[in-house]
Amino acid sequence: MEEQGVRLDKWLWAARLFKTRAIATDAIKGGKVKINDAAVKPSREVKEGEVIQVQIEQLHKVVQVKTVIKNRVSAKQVPEVYTDLTPKEEYERIEFMHAYKSEYRDRGAGRPTKKERRLIEKMKDDL
């Protein structure tokens, strides 16, 4: 499982942080991935113990490399590959955003009134 010198884009894909290697490469080129607070290139080699900051949509994920891998692992093996250092508050923020992003109304409640609609818009703007 342990390898020497694996490209960052390949490691991010193998560690299941991105669905494809191309998406990982685009994220790195777009400045959404940093190692030790520094912007990097997709070809940079990953080393054990490095802290990687990844922005996946609105989630700012922070991981520490445990094992340098070249091949994609199963979801069960992910905890062996990296340690998730993302604060719990970040996950709570994302969960809160998803909960209030959808506009759920009880069946039969009808359309929102003008006052309710303004309140909904205000809540969306605050997120």
Question: Are 74 and 13 found together in one domain?
Answer: yes
Question: Are 65 and 103 found together in one domain?
Answer: no
- Per-residue pLDDT of the chain in tens (127 residues, 90 and over written 9): 444 679 999 999 999 999 999 999 999 999 999 998 899 999 999 999 999 999 998 889 999 999 999 999 999 999 999 999 999 998 888 887 776 666 667 778 888 889 988 988 887 776 5
Instruction: Tell me the CA end-to-end span of the chain in Å, nearest whole number.
Output: 42
Question: Are 17 and 46 found together in one domain?
Answer: yes
Question: Are 51 and 28 found together in one domain?
Answer: yes
Question: Are 57 and 97 found together in one domain?
Answer: no
Q: How many other C-beta atoms are found inside a 10 Å radius of the C-beta of residue 108?
A: 5
Judge contact between 63 and 52, C-beta under 8 A.
Answer: yes
Question: Are 81 and 109 found together in one domain?
Answer: no
At 66, the amino acid letter reads: K
DSSP bridge pairs for 61: 54
- The boundaries of the domain holding residue 1 are 1-86
The reported pTM is 0.74
Question: Are 118 and 92 found together in one domain?
Answer: yes
Provide the number of structural domains found in the chain.
Answer: 2
